[in-house]
Copies of this chain bind each other. A is one copy, B any other.
Amino acid sequence: MRAKFTTEEIAAAALAIVDEAGVAALSMRALAAALGTGPMTMYNYVAGKEGLEELVVAAVVADVSMPAPSDDWQHDVHAIATEMWRGVRAHPAAIPLVLTRRMASATGFAIVDGLVAALGRANLADVDRLAAFHAVLGLVTGAAQAELAGPLTGSSAEAAQRIGAVAGAEYPHIAALSKVASRTSIEDDFDGGLRMLLDGIALRSR
């Protein structure tokens, strides 16, 4: 029998399940049913459940595109980090998968290589370049994680309620900050933190 599906079709169907019904709904059997075949057929295209989840991560990373480089490394690092963050946020339900899986697809390496290249133009010592790279990547994934499960996430009412439920009066600093959260946007907040980090990196420039 001829191959019935392409890897792209499988990946698209799997990502659609995650987007629509959450990561818990992604199963070999559900995917097979969505494609109109039996569960065992999937094993001809995908290396088990683990391989299927890698495919989903690759599909999410695939539409993170490399911004055009400029002559300003800070601008480029900012643009790349922001684009990575946008790409991950485009599929919120897939974030747990992206966060916990080592991304090894070629498409992901391209933008990571671009980030390292931009940081290279900052003229840092080797160890500083590595630390800066990890910090930028950490900030991006950390921001995605925080939006998913952070202490000050969600509507301010919801956050206030949650904090209140855990003895809000005992944690006055969190309570005060949660009020600020309702007056700013997630985007501006990410941008602000990223700019602080970029300023700190720039101080190491030689």
Contact = CB atoms under 8 A, between A and B. Distances in A.
A100 B99 contact: yes
A105 interface: yes
Interface of A: 95-96, 99-106, 108-110, 112-114, 116-117, 120, 126-135, 137-143, 145-146, 148-153, 162-163, 165-167, 170-174, 176-177, 180-181, 183-184, 188-201, 203-204
How many subunits of this chain does the assembly comprise? 2
A101 B198 contact: no
A131 B200 contact: no
Contacts of A99: 96, 99-100, 145, 149
Contacts of A150: 102, 134, 137
Nearest to A201: B196
Contacts of A200: 195-201, 203
Nearest to A202: B200
A85 to B, nearest CB: 10
B116 A174 contact: yes
A109 B172 CA distance: 11
A135 B127 contact: no
B184 A130 contact: yes
B102 A149 contact: yes
Given A116-B177, A173-B113, A189-B134, A162 B104 contact: yes
